[in-house]
Structure 1
Amino acid sequence: MTEIRFLGREQTLERLEELSEVLSDCVHGGASVSFMLPFAMEEARDYWRGIADAAGEGDTLLAVALHDSRVAGTVQVGMKQTSNQPHRGDLKKLLVHRAARGLGLSRLLMEAAERKAAEGGKTLLVLDTATGSPAEAIYPRFGWTRVGVVPDYALYPDGSFCGTTFFYKRIA
């Protein structure tokens, strides 16, 4: 059974180990999600502690996919913007553990995040993802519009260069 939940600060801290496992699995699987190898679990825990604070302050929406009562995937929406962009949110770090891929968790997470962001007054979401990655292929299927590619924008966890593709979606 799968359930999507939004977590605040305390709930995020309660799920710290599960969230860290998903992030670690994705980084070790080669996902370009801001972290480099070697990647230690303490680095993952530190990251999620910061997200817990942001979720507690309302700056970030944090959705998790619970599959068999454990965190199997997650996505965030950055809700805090500058005063000239109150309508925009940043979709960040759609992560699904490799053992849970193919279950439709990405779609469920994206739909929930978009809905919650719209309820929070957002009308436009933007995201970026590694060019040529499996993630890049799913966003158009979810109704996102590809804007373009910036070559060598980031690095993969192994240190090799990674192009980045930018997308947007109007949600209200």
Structure 2
Amino acid sequence: MPIDTVAQPPSIRRLLTVTETRAQALAKLLIDCVDGGASVSFMHPLPLSKAQAFWHGVAEGVAQGERALLVAEDAEGIVGTVQLVLDQPDNQPHRADVSKMLVHRRARRQGLGAALMQAAENTARECGRSLLVLDTASGDAERLYARLGWQRCGVIPGYALLPHGGLCDTTYFYRLLNS
């Protein structure tokens, strides 16, 4: 008789180094998100070489302590990621920017975005940060951020292009962290 197995939720962890294998997996995740219409600074079609170059740059920032990179992995590999940009001006050592919160299309609507954001907040606290700031294409993840306690500060109309064309608005949020 077959035994039913329950799929394990993705595990989230901070990467202190980015191997070439992980950079490749992150590049594929980024391409999936752009293919799916996510406005994350890249246009469709996103060439693998450009996605890889982006993650190599992130890897350098991680190695230099300028970024914290968190990944979510399941049995099939990396399905999500989020970054904290820790390298801030001298007068802003208390804050970080949240960047490139990405969830693979096959893993959406399962609470992974919320789990990644909570892990990012915990990592920010560990790094001594008390204020987080992010921007998102208006309508994309606004409900998620509001549900997690982020404060909406405003919208800039026509801020960026969507990956398949057309302008989109961008909404800014911040979150004050408790210690």
What does residue 163 of structure 1 align with? 169
Mapping 1:53-132, distance limit 5 Å: 53-68=60-75, 70-132=77-139
Assess, with a 3 A threshold, how the Cα gap between structure 1 residues 129 and 122 changes in structure 2: closer, same or farther.
same
1:149 aligns to 2:131 (yes or no): no
Residue 6 of structure 1 aligns with which residue? Answer: 14
**One-letter amino acid matched to 1:21:** K
**Ranges in structure 2 where 5+ consecutive residues have no aligned partner:** 1-7
Kindly state the Cα deviation for residue 69 of structure 1 after the two structures are TM-superposed. Answer: 5.4
Matched, 1:33 2:40: yes
Question: Which 4+ residue blocks in structure 1 deviate beyond 3 angstroms?
Answer: none
Q: CA shift at 1:9, angstroms?
A: 2.6
Aligned to 2:56: 49
SS state at 2:68 partner: strand
TM-score by length of 1: 0.95
Aligned to 1:139: 145
CA distance in 1, matches of 2:24, 2:34: 15
Distance 1:109 1:60 in 2: 15
Q: Give, in angstroms, the shift of residue 159 of structure 1.
A: 2.6
Residues 51-86 of structure 1 deviation map (CA, whole Å, 9 limit, x = unaligned): 011011110100000112510000000001001111
Residue 143 of structure 1 deviates from its aligned partner by: 1.0
- How far apart, in 2, do the equivalents of 1:109 and 1:25 lie? 18
Aligned residues: 170
C-alpha distance in structure 1 between counterparts of 2:105 and 2:153, whole Å: 28
Normalized per residue, the structure richer in helix is 1
Code of the residue aligned with 1:145 in structure 2: it is Q
TM-score normalized with structure 2 length: 0.91
Deviations 1:140-165 (A, max 9, x none): 01110111100011111123111000
CA RMSD of aligned residues (A): 1.1
Distance (whole Å) between structure 2 residues aligned to residue 132 and residue 108 of structure 1: 20
What is the rounded CA distance, in whole Å, between the counterparts of 2:31 and 2:76 in structure 1?
Answer: 19
**Structure 1 spans left out of the alignment, 5+ residues:** none
Cα offset for 1:123? 0.3
Q: Which entry has the higher C-alpha Rg, 1 or 2?
A: 2
Identity of counterpart residues, as a percentage? 48
